[in-house]
Amino acid sequence: MSREGDRSGAAAPPEWMHRLQESVSDVPPSWFSRFLPPQEGGRQSAVLMLFGPAADGGQDVVLTERSADLRSHAGQVAFPGGSLDPGDAGPVSAALREAREEVGLSEEGVEIVTELPALYLPPSNFVVTPVIAWWSQPHPLGVVDAREVARVVRASLDQLTDPEHRFTVTHPSGYVGPAFDVEGLLVWGFTAGLLAKTLELAGLERPWDHSRRRPLPARFLSGSGRR
């Protein structure tokens, strides 16, 4: 991964991305999630954790709010992504294709940094490979297919790491996990857990009050299960 910008004005990756790239191999998959892929089965999929330069001089990450009409994880915040298609060369190819189809991402200026270990989503039987990328030349994004995506947000890392925007969410099932409040969105479950671990591994996490708890809103309870 290059540490230099280019003459087109593309933004070079920040130093924390290099720390993240170097640290991923030092942690086991169980550090990211207690739900690990089964030895057989599971729907192979990938998500794109796309970070880039923000207009205020900081960095941000692309998040989507899923359509309320979807059969699984309806209305939840997610990274662009989905199942691997037969024509995909692997998780990276799938993550980029899904981002193009969901939010209109052009691959120009997108640099793949690393892949995180494949993790498991029991409620939907997805085996998810997170793909981390740096977006040196951001362009406008938007909802491409409203049947899948309700909203696209470039969430500021300054807000996501602000202790005032962090808390713990509780589910009636007994689930307790990290959550973020950003741009009017509640980020929880798999996405919040993955984001929290990534920020920690990159050295971006700031101390926050883990005892501050909020119950999961009722709109997420029906069929949500454990994450």
> If residue 155 lies in a helix (H) or strand (E), which one and from where to where?
strand 149-156
**Mean pLDDT value across the chain:** 90
Topology classification of domain 15-155? Nucleoside Triphosphate Pyrophosphohydrolase (3.90.79)
> How many Å apart are CA 224 and CA 218, to the nearest integer?
10
Among residues 14, 31, 56, 73, which one has the least CA distance to residue 198? 31
| pLDDT tens by residue, 186-204 | 999 999 999 999 999 999 9
182's CB contacts (< 8 A; 6+ apart) are: 63, 153, 155, 156, 159, 160, 165
Any idea where the domains of the chain sit in the sequence? 15-155
**DSSP classification of residue 27:** S
In 3-state terms, what secondary structure has residue 115?
strand
Q: For 140-151, what is each residue's pLDDT tens digit?
A: 999 998 888 999
pTM for the complete prediction? 0.91
Q: What is the pLDDT of residues 4-21, one digit of tens each?
A: 445 456 889 999 999 999
